[in-house]
Amino acid sequence: MGGVFICFFVSRPRPQPVRYGLYSWTPDYGLRYIHPANRRTFEWLEPLGKVFEKIDEAEDWILLRYDEQQFKVSGELFSELPDKPPYSFGDLVEEVGAEPGRPPHRGLISDVFWNERTHTARFQIVEKKRKIKRVFEPDELRLV
């Protein structure tokens, strides 16, 4: 009787202001912090060190967004960042100061990582449907 269960969420508009934060869950914490419908995909995401958008909250769960995915999780492990990152998921950006003779990378923000040492966000982009391996510092990108 095996089957695959896929859960889709209807995209909701972002609340204003959007709250950004970290969700410090690891598998060692156990699964009680993650809604049963989201456990496998959240585990695959490996959330530690990634910046999430908090887009909704209810009594028992909060709804976090990471790129195009949404996850219901317990609010206990969410810690809000004091400042909004300069870029977020889906922002169209362009690399500043590309190597001579090479056009600058240009694409959509797909990943936002938190640098604990500098307390700043770092970014990965998708260009022409391919994720660029390089992770950019905020000053290496600009909005297009």
pLDDT digits (tens, 9 = 90+) for 57-114: 887 899 999 999 999 999 999 999 988 999 999 999 999 988 899 999 999 999 999 9
What's the rounded Cα separation, in Å, for the pair 56 and 18?
A: 10
- Give yes or no for a contact between 26 and 45, defined as CB atoms under 8 angstroms apart: no
Which of 1, 41, 62 lies closest to 22 in space, CA to CA?
Answer: 62
> pLDDT at position 18, please?
83
Confidence of residue 13 (pLDDT cuts 50, 70, 90): low
Portion of the chain with pLDDT greater than 90, in percent: 81
Ramachandran angles phi, psi of 41, nearest 5°: -70, -35
138 vs 57, more confident = 138
pTM of the model: 0.84
Which of 36, 31, 67, 34 lies closest to 52 in space, CA to CA?
Answer: 67
Q: What is the mean pLDDT of residues 32-42?
A: 95
68 Ramachandran zone, left/alpha/beta (phi>0; psi -120 to 50): alpha
Q: Where are the domains of the chain?
A: 19-80, 92-143
Residue 119 vs residues 92, 116, 138: alpha-carbon distances, Å: 23, 5, 12
Which of 92, 16, 108, 24 lies closest to 54 in space, CA to CA?
Answer: 16
Strand, helix or coil at 15?
Answer: coil
> pLDDT at position 10, please?
46
Assess whether pLDDT exceeds 90 at residue 12: no
Confidence of residue 11 (pLDDT cuts 50, 70, 90): very low
Task: Provide the token pair at 8.
Answer: 């889709």
